[in-house]
């Protein structure tokens, strides 16, 4: 008992020190534009990981995370509310069968939602959450094993999921009441070995895989999921169960790790291949044929950690547009790479994190044209907590 108390006291002191020093080096810095915060838990042995972040209308933030539970093989659901200066307001640990939250946090009709899963029935849930991190309502969706969610306009969203009965990767468009607008299913191939990486992703007994979905500038939907035995990037108009285009990976050992659709049919892309990482901030992908991900011309990113989350956003700085590509380095810092979005030229790099190890979780362009970076950190080598970096527009301009 004394050991636990001492650990907790030491941890709280460290948190106060980090919070106190995050802007002390520059008294002119507005605490709402630039800060680093690390968030404690009332359960000191909770291991919390970052999933997504959303800035609310009051310019505070909703943080979505997960935490290890001892009563299920799946990760529990955690939501926190933060004010505009990064100060903690309140949080919610969901204790029922509502588990496995996935990004992104959605905004539909002015309200905020996130997708999760029932630990028993495995069906997807759509949860409405208010700005104080309270879950307002939960409805069941007609799919199982949710993998990713993304806004698709103001009144519907895109949901990527897995159907273990039919052995298919499913892409759906849905509204806030759970009604389906369009849906296609893509076969993953026969055999238990094909499904194993997907199930391991859910139970965290294997590698966390880069599942995502969205809509390209040409109107086609895209998804990164298993198809024909391989983790592949698919393009589809949702008219049938055949993709219009395929960027094929190497089983679960290679493929696309992130994608950003830009105007003119251009994409920013990152990919991985047997432990190596690559990036290209401006490339053309065929959305009507089949190519190998390994054939996409790209630059090796030698400092990126194997299997780390990669996130990308577009941002206007000064008179130019840029792509921000972020991930975790091998020495456990969060790295931001800036590229000119019209030429793909590498412009600048910036590192976040010191003293403790940090891993990237999610990015959000803020209303003041700064950057909110949600991550996970390990304090004193034993306490896994959420952290939030706020990088101001001025700091980003200084990098240029």
| pLDDT value at 10 more than 50 | no
Q: Is-contact 37 84, C-beta < 8 A?
A: no
Best CA proximity match to 76, nearest among 84, 67, 88? 67
- What gap in Å lies between CA 128 and CA 110, rounded to an integer? 11
| pLDDT value at 4 more than 60 | no
Q: And the tokens for 382?
A: 């034993």
| pLDDT value at 14 more than 60 | no
- What gap in Å lies between CA 112 and CA 318, rounded to an integer? 31
Q: Which residues of 179-203 are buried (b: 16+ CB within 10 A; e: fewer)?
A: eeebbbbbbbeeeeebbebbeebbe
At 28 the pLDDT is: 58
Neighbour tally for 24: CB within 10 Å = 8
Note the Cα 163 to chain centre separation in Å. 22
Q: And the tokens for 51?
A: 């999933």
DSSP result, 304-340: BPTT---EEEEEEETTEEEEEEEEEBTTS-EEEEEEE
At 15 the pLDDT is: 42
Strands 290-292 and 245-248: parallel
Average of pLDDT values for 27-45? 78
What contacts 230, CB < 8 A, 6 or more positions away? 248, 249, 250, 251, 252, 255
| pLDDT value at 207 more than 90 | no
Q: Which tens digits make up the pLDDT trace of 356-384?
A: 999 999 999 999 999 999 999 998 778 89
- What gap in Å lies between CA 224 and CA 233, rounded to an integer? 4
- What gap in Å lies between CA 182 and CA 297, rounded to an integer? 33
Q: Which tens digits make up the pLDDT trace of 120-153?
A: 999 999 999 999 999 999 999 999 999 999 999 8
CA-CA-CA-CA dihedral for 48, 50, 51, 53, to nearest 10: 120
Average of pLDDT values for 239-265? 95
Q: And the tokens for 342?
A: 């019209």
Q: And the tokens for 175?
A: 């509204």
Q: Is-contact 148 205, C-beta < 8 A?
A: no
Number of domains in the chain: 1
At 29 the pLDDT is: 57
At 33 the pLDDT is: 85
What contacts 310, CB < 8 A, 6 or more positions away? 210, 257, 258, 270, 277, 304, 325, 326, 327, 360
- Compute the Cα dihedral for 223, 229, 230, 231 and give only its sign: positive
- Compute the Cα dihedral for 85, 90, 93, 98 and give only its sign: negative
Q: What is the mean pLDDT of the chain?
A: 91
- ∠ CA(355), CA(356), CA(357), 5° rounding? 130
This prediction's pTM: 0.91
Could you list the residue range(s) of the whole structural domain that residue 232 is in?
Answer: 2-399
Percentage above 90 pLDDT, the chain = 82
Band of the pLDDT at 264, cuts 50, 70, 90?
confident
Kindly report the CATH number assigned to the domain that includes residue 169: 2.130.10.10
| pLDDT value at 84 more than 50 | yes
């Amino acid at each position: 008992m004394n050991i636990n108390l001492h650990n907790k006291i030491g941890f709280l002191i460290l948190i106060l020190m980090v919070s106190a020093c995050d802007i002390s080096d520059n008294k002119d810095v507005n605490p709402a534009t630039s800060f680093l915060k690390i968030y404690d838990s009332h359960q000191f042995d909770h291991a919390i990981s970052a999933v997504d972040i959303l800035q609310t209308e009051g310019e505070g933030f909703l943080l979505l995370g997960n935490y290890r539970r001892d009563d299920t093989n799946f990760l529990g659901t955690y939501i926190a509310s933060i004010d505009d200066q990064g100060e903690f307001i309140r949080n919610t640990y969901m204790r029922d069968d509502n588990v496995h939250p996935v990004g992104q946090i959605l905004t539909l009709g002015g309200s905020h939602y996130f997708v999760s899963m029932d630990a028993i029935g495995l069906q997807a849930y759509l949860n409405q959450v208010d700005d104080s991190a309270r879950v307002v309502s939960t409805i069941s969706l007609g799919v199982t094993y949710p993998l990713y969610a993304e806004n698709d306009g103001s009144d519907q969203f895109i949901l990527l999921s897995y159907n273990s009965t039919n052995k298919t990767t499913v892409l759906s468009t849905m509204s806030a009441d759970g009604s389906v607008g369009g849906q296609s299913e893509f076969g993953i191939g026969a055999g238990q070995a094909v499904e194993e990486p997907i199930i391991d992703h859910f139970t965290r007994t294997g590698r966390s895989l880069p599942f995502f979905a969205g809509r390209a500038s040409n109107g086609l939907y895209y998804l990164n999921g298993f198809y024909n035995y391989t983790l592949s990037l698919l393009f589809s108009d949702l008219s049938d169960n055949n993709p219009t285009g395929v960027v094929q990976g190497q089983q679960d050992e290679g493929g696309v790790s992130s994608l950003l659709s830009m105007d003119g049919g251009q994409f920013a892309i990152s990919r991985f291949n047997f432990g190596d990482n690559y990036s290209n901030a401006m490339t053309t992908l065929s959305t009507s044929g089949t190519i190998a991900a390994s054939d996409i011309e790209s630059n090796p990113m030698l400092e990126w950690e194997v299997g780390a989350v990669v996130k990308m956003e577009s941002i206007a700085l000064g008179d130019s547009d840029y792509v921000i590509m972020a991930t975790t380095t091998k020495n456990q810092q969060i790295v931001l790479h800036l590229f000119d979005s019209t030429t793909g030229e590498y412009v600048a790099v910036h590192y976040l994190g010191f003293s403790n190890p940090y891993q990237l979780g999610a990015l959000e362009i803020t209303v003041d044209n700064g950057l909110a970076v949600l991550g996970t950190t390990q304090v004193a080598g034993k306490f896994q907590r959420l952290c939030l970096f706020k990088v101001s527009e001025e700091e980003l301009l200084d990098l240029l």
